[in-house]
């Protein structure tokens, strides 16, 4: 394992962070804010740690898969460390633990926050907070690779190390073309949503930061009341549309616009994703009508926003869903676990794996009835090989086990069981809000310090698809 090579490519992500820190610092200077020094200091540190390895370490012709995996994991961990510097230096509600939690939540696009008063932060720091979402949404390494010149084989190794495994099966293109598609769709969605929100009379700052959080399916809002602050049905509809789009495989979005407009409707994964959201909205609307909201319009409005927000792992809020009836809360828990499609910015188990799991159950039932029959599991008219079927089932099992284990740790620290389980599921799925103390209008400030570190680990495991983090900390990995 060549540590110097790993450091060279981790350094690229330092420079990426430095750029956004610089922009954030300039915003603070323009507004004469107290966050200028923390942001510039963070920018300086990121720049120095980014430049030295690039200057003194020659570029290798090849990197191994193990090195690629370590580059991805260390890029995330060191970016989170860089991200907390402005928070801790600025102070306020940010202790070291709180700064780390907020930074990890930002980069992993979880959107869980320890802040009780978000609007107390200077605009520069709020922009940095939203920028961590936008950097992490597409993937730190993928973002860096997409803006770099020709990387060839190196880019392919790093690309495959960070992309979710179901998404890799869908991108039947080389790494360079796939990266370009991801970046085009990411930039396009961000720009279009920003323009749409400006038409909804949001300020330029609010439109940009809200778009960063929506397209990254993150949920950090510059307002204490999240999207509810704007009291705008048109803004909510815009955010709903872009949350749904951001939860769809970016390759399918690209092909539906530039090659085959029917590609979206041909995808069984997209069909299942949209159908499940529609079903969740309808069931929740019926359940909360008369119990939480007196008329059907308000019931549909808030059910649609909350279900789609959770079902895409975005985590914005327009109302307090923690006071909803138990049935609606269970619907939200289901979507907290499932979330959206692989190849998008969404977290969670992913619709792809859930669909494979359902099809494997159906196949098992048919095999019991017809012991000698041969039944294939198909997605997009292609047979899914047994390795991917078994890995999907294993991933789901391990995912649920980690959620329960994390919840057990929290309850041992005195956290109530509803908050512990929903908070663990929400952080593992990079969703953000849970139920109880960490509901859609609450925050994670009252979680014990040790609990915040536990949840930080679940956020990283969820974003890095579990195995990357486990493999890198395996003592036999380097052998």
The boundaries of the domain holding residue 46 are 1-162
Number of domains in the chain: 1
Kindly give the interhelix angle for 65-90 and 152-162, rounded to the nearest 10 degrees. 70
Taking the C-alpha atoms of residue 479 and residue 1, their distance in angstroms, rounded to an integer, is 9
pLDDT score at 214:
96
Instruction: Give domain status of residue 391, yes or no.
Output: no
pLDDT score at 318:
94
- Enter the tokens of residue 324: 């909803």
Instruction: Give domain status of residue 48, yes or no.
Output: yes
- Enter the tokens of residue 364: 């098992």
Taking the C-alpha atoms of residue 424 and residue 420, their distance in angstroms, rounded to an integer, is 6
CA atoms within 13 Å, Cβ hemisphere of 30 = 10
Instruction: Give domain status of residue 326, yes or no.
Output: no
Residues 6+ apart with CB under 8 A from 155: 145, 148, 175, 176, 179
Quick one: CA torsion of 211, 215, 219, 224, rounded to 10 degrees? Answer: 10
pLDDT score at 343:
83
Taking the C-alpha atoms of residue 338 and residue 346, their distance in angstroms, rounded to an integer, is 10
Instruction: Per-residue pLDDT tens, the chain, 479 aa: give them.
Output: 677 777 888 888 899 899 999 999 999 999 999 999 999 999 999 999 998 887 777 766 677 777 777 888 888 899 999 999 999 999 999 999 999 999 999 999 999 999 999 999 999 999 999 999 999 887 765 655 554 444 444 444 444 544 555 554 554 555 567 777 888 899 999 999 999 999 999 999 999 999 999 999 999 999 999 999 999 999 999 999 999 999 998 888 988 888 777 778 888 899 999 999 999 999 999 999 999 999 999 999 999 999 999 999 999 999 999 999 999 999 999 999 999 998 888 989 999 899 999 989 988 888 888 887 777 787 766 777 888 888 888 899 999 999 999 999 999 999 999 999 999 999 999 999 999 999 998 899 999 999 999 999 999 999 888 877 776 666 555 54
Instruction: Give domain status of residue 345, yes or no.
Output: no
Instruction: Give domain status of residue 214, yes or no.
Output: no
For the chain, the three-class secondary structure string (H helix, E strand, C coil) is CCHHHHHHHHHHHHHHHHHHHHHHHHHHHHCCCCCHHHHHHHHHHHHHHHHHHHHHCCCCCCCCHHHHHHHHHHHHHHHHHHHHHHHHHHCCCCCHHHHHHHHHHHHCCCCCCCCCCHHHCCHHHHHHHHHHHHHHHCCHHHHHHHHCCCCHHHHHHHHHHHCCHHHHHHCCCCHHHHHHHHHHHHHHHHHHHHHHHHHCCCCHHHHHHHHHHHHCCCCCCCCCCHHHHHCCHHHHHHHHHHHHHHCCCHHHHHHHHHCCCCHHHHCHHHHHHHHHHHHHHHHHHHHHECCCECCHHHHHHHHHHHHHHHHCCCCCCCCCHHHCCHHHHHHHHHHHHHCCCCCCCCCCCCHHHHHHHHHHHHHHHHHHHCCCCCCCCEECCEECCHHHHHHHHHHHHHHHHHHHHHHHHHHHCCCCHHHHHHHHHHHHCCCCCCCHHHCCCCCCCCCCHHHHHHHHHHHHHHHCCCHHHHHHCCCCCCC
Taking the C-alpha atoms of residue 196 and residue 375, their distance in angstroms, rounded to an integer, is 47
Cβ contact 270:341 at 8 Å? yes
Measured in whole angstroms, the distance separating CA 368 from the mean position of its chain's CA atoms is 39
Instruction: Give domain status of residue 15, yes or no.
Output: yes
Number of C-beta neighbours around residue 404 at 10 A: 13
- Enter the tokens of residue 478: 């380097």
φ, ψ dihedrals at 433, nearest 5°:
-75, 145
**Residue 66 burial (C-beta neighbours within 10 Å; 0-12, 13-18, 19+):** middle
Taking the C-alpha atoms of residue 397 and residue 394, their distance in angstroms, rounded to an integer, is 5
pLDDT score at 149:
45
Number of C-beta neighbours around residue 120 at 10 A: 12
CA atoms within 13 Å, Cβ hemisphere of 229 = 17
pLDDT score at 430:
93
pLDDT score at 156:
47
Residues 6+ apart with CB under 8 A from 81: 100, 103
Instruction: Give domain status of residue 215, yes or no.
Output: no
Angle, vertex CA 248, rays to CA 255 and CA 423, nearest 5: 160
Cβ contact 141:72 at 8 Å? yes
Instruction: Give domain status of residue 280, yes or no.
Output: no
CA-based diameter of the chain, in Å? Answer: 75
């Amino acid at each position: 394992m060549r540590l110097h090579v790993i450091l060279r490519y981790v350094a690229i992500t330092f420079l990426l962070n430095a750029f956004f820190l610089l922009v954030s610092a300039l915003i603070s200077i323009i507004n004469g804010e107290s966050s200028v020094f923390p942001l510039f200091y963070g920018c300086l540190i990121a720049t120095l740690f980014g430049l030295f390895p690039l200057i003194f370490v020659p570029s290798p012709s090849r990197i191994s898969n193990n090195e690629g995996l370590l580059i991805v994991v260390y890029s995330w961990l060191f970016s989170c460390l860089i991200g907390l510097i402005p928070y801790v230096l600025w102070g306020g509600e940010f202790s070291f633990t709180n700064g780390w939690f907020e930074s990890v939540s930002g980069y992993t696009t979880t959107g869980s926050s320890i802040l009780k008063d978000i609007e107390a932060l200077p605009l520069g720091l709020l922009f940095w907070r939203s920028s961590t979402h936008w950097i992490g949404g597409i993937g730190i390494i993928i973002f860096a690779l997409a803006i770099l010149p020709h990387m060839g084989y190196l880019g392919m190794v790093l690309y495959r190390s960070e992309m979710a495994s179901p998404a890799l099966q869908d991108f039947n293109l080389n790494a360079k073309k796939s990266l370009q598609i991801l970046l085009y769709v990411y930039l396009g969605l961000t720009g279009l949503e920003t323009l749409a929100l400006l038409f909804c009379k949001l300020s330029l700052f609010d439109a940009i930061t809200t778009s960063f959080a929506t397209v990254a399916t993150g949920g950090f809002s510059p307002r204490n009341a999240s999207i509810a602050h704007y009291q705008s049905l048109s803004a909510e509809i815009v955010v709903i549309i872009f949350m749904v789009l951001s939860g769809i495989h970016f390759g399918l979005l690209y092909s539906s616009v530039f090659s085959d407009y029917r590609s979206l409707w041909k995808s069984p994964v997209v069909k299942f994703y949209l159908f499940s959201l529609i079903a969740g909205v309808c069931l929740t609307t019926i359940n909360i009508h008369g119990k939480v909201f007196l008329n059907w319009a308000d019931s549909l409005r808030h059910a649609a926003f909350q279900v789609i927000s959770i079902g895409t792992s975005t985590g914005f809020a327009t109302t307090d869903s923690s006071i909803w009836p138990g049935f609606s809360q269970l619907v939200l828990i289901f979507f907290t676990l499932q979330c959206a499609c692989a190849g998008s910015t969404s977290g969670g188990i992913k619709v792809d794996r859930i669909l494979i799991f359902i099809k494997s159950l159906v196949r098992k039932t048919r095999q019991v009835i017809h012991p000698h029959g041969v039944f294939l599991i198909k997605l997009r008219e292609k047979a899914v090989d047994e390795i991917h079927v078994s890995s999907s089932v294993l991933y789901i099992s391990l995912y649920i086990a980690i959620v329960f284990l994390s919840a057990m740790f929290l309850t041992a620290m005195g956290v109530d069981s509803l908050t512990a389980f929903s908070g663990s599921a929400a952080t593992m799925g990079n969703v953000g809000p849970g139920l109880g103390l960490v509901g859609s209008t609450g925050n994670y400030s009252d979680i014990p310090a040790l609990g915040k570190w536990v949840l930080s680990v679940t956020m990283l495991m969820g974003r890095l698809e579990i195995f990357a983090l486990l493999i890198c900390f395996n003592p036999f990995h380097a052998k």
